[in-house]
Chain A
């Protein structure tokens, strides 16, 4: 077998290991769902009436139609905390040093985490979407649109997971690992997740328009609600590729740096 197929086989083995951890200790997975679910309830039932009236232009589908794409992205971004913590905790386990002294594809330790986290994250995004539908969300997407929605969600999850893996490797302690991704979790709030950037203060508005989550959210919103996404899709794609690459390169370098003590 070639080194490449070993890398895939070893990654699959590591993925099985991570999924087994998740199934055995599902607490963390449910914790991941907490933030987006609370925000969905809060913005639908508490702030939703006023915000919906204020936005107005959200038009068809009401405020929940505007809100849900943002919540989906929030579900993805808030999962980065659990990924970073899981990676950091895992690195302190003696078994990682065992992996390092075995003739396996080294990167499989990381790809196993990434694959596991993407599966978890996309599942959590799907559950949140289901909840939104139960709360009155009526997407206008076609079958092809839904496939595109899934593709975008997976791409964003993939990119953010690599960044989170790098953050988890960078952190000195699990506590530190749970703090480092905080900006990622809050960035959607400073984008178009809950309100259009046009209504924000000038400086903030500029930031909201140029940060990565806004084009991602706009792309999803366009696909789900049929609103015009403009050039968002291209920008969103570029951000995903860039973040994934930066995360992958730094995660790899951090992992190869040496033993973690």
Chain B
């Protein structure tokens, strides 16, 4: 449960190994990945302040958080790129510190920044991976051809990656990760910067992978993405996990969506508030916040109700729950500089009483 995992973090770090043991008992499938008391600092700057993770085999785990929360650092440690400052991490049953090569043989990583060779063609990139996985020539060529086909890159296979669009490049990146048939895949913000269509395509690829039994560790700053793909979500904020649970469990923690109505003067606001009978009223901003699930039906019902009143609505915005709401609900402060979020129709300051806008 979210609340209990949040409080679990407040416990003495010395007891983390004990908790690791408890986790193992609670989840019956073998863990593909587990971390206990994972810490990382760069000099004085603490990036990860002791986090526990447990990802059962064959599931999708999503680490959700704004820029700077520590998501990429976590992936870099789990994928053997950088060493942790403290804590224990096991991936595919191996210690990332002492058995890095065994871990590397079991994982595939698609980082936030494209890891393709721009000067090579799509096919050459895949053949390079095949060679590095020590596949024999014929097998490597077959694998590359299959992946090019599967990721709809066959048409551009002989063009250099430098000429690819963002979506194509990301697909090539994923395909390269899959050449070695990894059992565990790390995806660090796999859809950041992609257009909605490419994003959906990547989602479908991830779903297909999971259907094939692969374990996926995904970081994202989009609540919707975690919701779409993950079995479990952990919310990372300033290097600490503030909640963990299934998407439904998390969404229950978030205040529902609402419709924000703005009026020209106090009189209008008063009349509307009386007509609605419910909703949070802000006399200074001249706004009325009405709970809503964001559906057209609820919007129409509300407008119908106001239609009978002599009030003029100056502005209206529909607010759907987003990462900012999660953060506000869980941490009491907004997700800050998650400027990349693109939730349409969102007024992220809607819940903020001091909002002058």
Contact = CB atoms under 8 A, between A and B. Distances in A.
B19 to A, nearest CB: 28
A20 B119 contact: yes
A138 interface: no
B54 to A, nearest CB: 22
Nearest to A25: B119
A143 interface: no
Nearest to A259: B81
A103 B128 CA distance: 14
Interface residues on B, range: 20 to 34
B95 to A, nearest CB: 15
B117 A95 contact: yes
Interface residues on A, range: 20 to 34
Contacts of A10: 132
A103 B101 contact: yes
A99 B118 CA distance: 15
Interface stretch (B62-70, B103-111, B210-218, B245-253): B103-111
Contacts of A101: 79-81, 104, 107, 109
Interface in A227-261: 258-259
Interface in A108-150: none
Given A101-B109, A259-B81, A95 B115 contact: yes
Contacts of A50: none
Contacts of B132: 10, 13, 99, 102, 104
B114 interface: yes
Contact of B82 (A13, A24, A99, A258): A258
A102 B104 contact: yes
Contact of B111 (A6, A20, A94): A94
A97 B120 contact: no
Contacts of A1: 134
A13 B109 contact: no
Contact of B119 (A21, A102, A258): A21
Nearest to A261: B113
A182 interface: no
A134 B128 CA distance: 41
Contacts of B116: 94-95
A94 B114 contact: yes
Contacts of B82: 258-259
A99 B107 CA distance: 12
A99 B131 CA distance: 12
Contacts of B124: 20
A13 B79 contact: no
A102 B111 CA distance: 13
A258 B131 CA distance: 24
Contact of A24 (B114, B119, B177): B119
Contacts of B115: 94-95, 97-98
Contact of A93 (B102, B105, B109, B117): B117
A16 B133 CA distance: 15
A83 to B, nearest CB: 16
Contacts of A98: 109, 111, 115, 176-177
Contacts of A95: 115-117
Interface string A1-33: 100001001100100110011001100000000
Nearest to A13: B131
A205 interface: no
Residue among B117, B120, B131, B132 with the highest chain A CB neighbour number at 10 A:
B132
A100 B115 CA distance: 11
B117 A103 contact: no
B341 interface: no
Contacts of A20: 119-120, 124
A99 B109 CA distance: 10
A1 B109 CA distance: 25
B292 interface: no
A94 B113 contact: yes
B85 interface: no
A96 to B, nearest CB: 8
A12 to B, nearest CB: 8
A25 B124 CA distance: 16
A100 B133 CA distance: 13
B76 A259 contact: yes
Contacts of A6: 134
A232 B123 CA distance: 50
A94 B110 CA distance: 10
A42 B79 CA distance: 54
B120 A17 contact: yes
Contact of B118 (A9, A17, A93, A100): A93
A211 B185 CA distance: 52
Contacts of B133: 102
Nearest to A22: B119
A103 B104 CA distance: 5
Interface of B: 76, 79-82, 101-102, 104-105, 107, 109, 111, 113-120, 124, 128, 131-134, 160, 176-177, 180
6 contacts: A13-B131, A24-B160, A93-B117, A94-B111, A100-B81, A259-B76
Across the A-B interface, the 5 shortest Cβ-Cβ residue pairs: A98-B115, A94-B115, A103-B105, A103-B104, A13-B131
Given A9-B131, A17-B128, A101-B107, 20 more contacts: A6-B134, A13-B128, A13-B131, A16-B131, A17-B117, A17-B120, A20-B124, A21-B119, A24-B119, A25-B119, A94-B116, A95-B115, A97-B81, A97-B113, A100-B80, A101-B79, A102-B132, A102-B133, A103-B101, A104-B132
